[in-house]
Structure 1
């Protein structure tokens, strides 16, 4: 999924101040693709905290009725310096990318795309036979400096580790986690120590998760009454806890079941600049990525059919099969993008 804001703010991704309790991050509504399109609820990045481990972007959407609409329609667009993590609760999304991938993702399955120095992709609700509702999360992780030059690639994982115990279901889609006495490890490729997991709880159920005390964690609540480390986290909000805990407790209210997504990882040691769909380390990184993407668009033969011979903008490749042309990058702000130093 793309950041489709036409005037995206510079986001300097650095950890916030460390606290002892649960820090509550409330979402903001962002239209995905214009005023008539679906809305998403974005919890990170934001000014108070823009990273949880290497997790740098969190959009929560649905449930949306897509039975009589086009559903999700995100035309080809570029990424650099990050991984995209697509995870659904309901529905289907068809992914296309410039390394030749064509893959539908469904609930309980993972689509993971690694941008490296540059990739482009599109996402859409399938035109025929799709389920009537779309509901899920779109997450990004920042690549460390050592992985910025990896070849762009795509992974789909349909068989992910899961444990069921005492009214709780935990499925790990990224990284590793110990729950219900079992060690769960996803086969997905990561470049920093991470965890991403869906947690479903029956009414009144509780789960204790054994985690690395050197990592920070956050819980995004999808539905239901949930407490995280004893603090209530309302639906669509993100509850954050700093490093120092070896066990995390999630409990559902007695009146109804609940669903949440846990993200976490080793605190990211590098300050990065995120603007639109680009992740870099300097202002020049972002400017170069935007220039390369716009040069690539300019070299389209007739605006839709392909790239002219000798095109300068082949950094991001070409997405084949999407019915419309690529997204244009917004104008850069009239200032130099600068990373802030990490808080003490």
Structure 2
């Protein structure tokens, strides 16, 4: 997916200075960002007070949107470096195309996982004949230095492991491992992502890895995470040091659990690039503008996404204060 901000700011991410070694309850409010022609997303990461959760460095939640009379998601071809994208749906379908020649429709509770590595381009669209509602999340995972120049790849996993923990809780493991069940999605850093379904009357505890930091994104319903009510579209940062997470819900609810080992490396994010320096980002933007390095996305009807202009004073990474 793409960051469609027309004036994206460079963001400094990573490092362990802002990672809580003990459990916390830090509620992160989203900001609304237009995505394509008819979709508005709620951006949770990067956030004013929180840049990453483990290797998760970008989180958008969208919908549920009634797109019966709309084109739905329409994101033209755009480039990525240094990251993995994770497409996760609760309703609707997204047609993925990329410069490797991949063409795949991703449906609810299926994993679309793209590894950008050294360079890839892709587009995302609601199919011409699409479902009425569109609801999901788009996420990025930062690649560690040892793997950020790896060959690009795309994976589609239609079946993922599931965990029924009792007390009304059901989990689908998107990436990493939950309670002994491991996803088949490729990862390059200790990480976890899980889709949690809470039945009406849920009172459960989900086992966690105490060395990981975690956050919970509310997708629907009215769940309480460690006693904190979480309305849809909000995210609760939980810190480290937890061996279990209390979850309750009076009505059917869904959450995304994101976590991982705190990401120690410093990185710079700008537009759709994750790098280690401003020079790398400038070079990637030039390659996209000149039509080199990233390849072509065949089958997409329309122009590719132009790169925004660089800030007049050059890229200046920003930390917790914008």
Q: TM-score range by the shorter chain?
A: over 0.9
For 1:332, the equivalent position in structure 2 comes to 310
Q: 1:43-98, CA deviations, whole angstroms, 9 ceiling, x for partnerless residues? A: 10022111000000000001111211111000000000000000000010000000
Encode CA deviations 1:279-316: one digit per residue, 9 max, x unaligned.
100010110000000010xxxxxxxxxxxxxxxx1x11
Task: Give the Cα separation in 1 of the matches to 2:121 and 2:319.
Answer: 30
Tell me the equivalent position of 1:141: 141
Structure 1 spans left out of the alignment, 5+ residues: 297-312
2:272 is aligned to: 277
The 3-state SS of whatever aligns with 2:4 is coil
The CA distance in 1 between the partners of 2:100 and 2:187, in whole Å, is 19
Q: Give the TM-score, by structure 2 length.
A: 0.95
Q: Give the distance between the partners of 1:110 and 1:190, measured in 2 at CA.
A: 13
What residue in structure 1 maps to residue 300 of structure 2? 322
Structure with the higher fraction of residues in strand conformation: 2
Match of 1:111 in 2: 112
Q: How does 1:79-228 map to 2 (within 5 A)?
A: 79-128=80-129, 130-164=130-164, 165-178=166-179, 183-228=180-225
Alignment pair present for 1:260 and 2:255: yes
Alignment coverage as a number of residue pairs:
317
Let me know the Cα RMSD of the aligned residues: 1.6
Conserved? CA contact 1:271–1:341, under 8 Å: no
Q: CA deviation at 1:337?
A: 2.9
Q: Which has the larger radius of gyration?
A: 1
With the length of structure 1 as denominator, give the TM-score of the two structures.
0.89
* Structure 2 unpaired stretches of 5+: none
| Matches for 1:22-37 after TM superposition, within 5 Å | 22-33=25-36, 37=38
> Partner of 1:71 in structure 2?
72
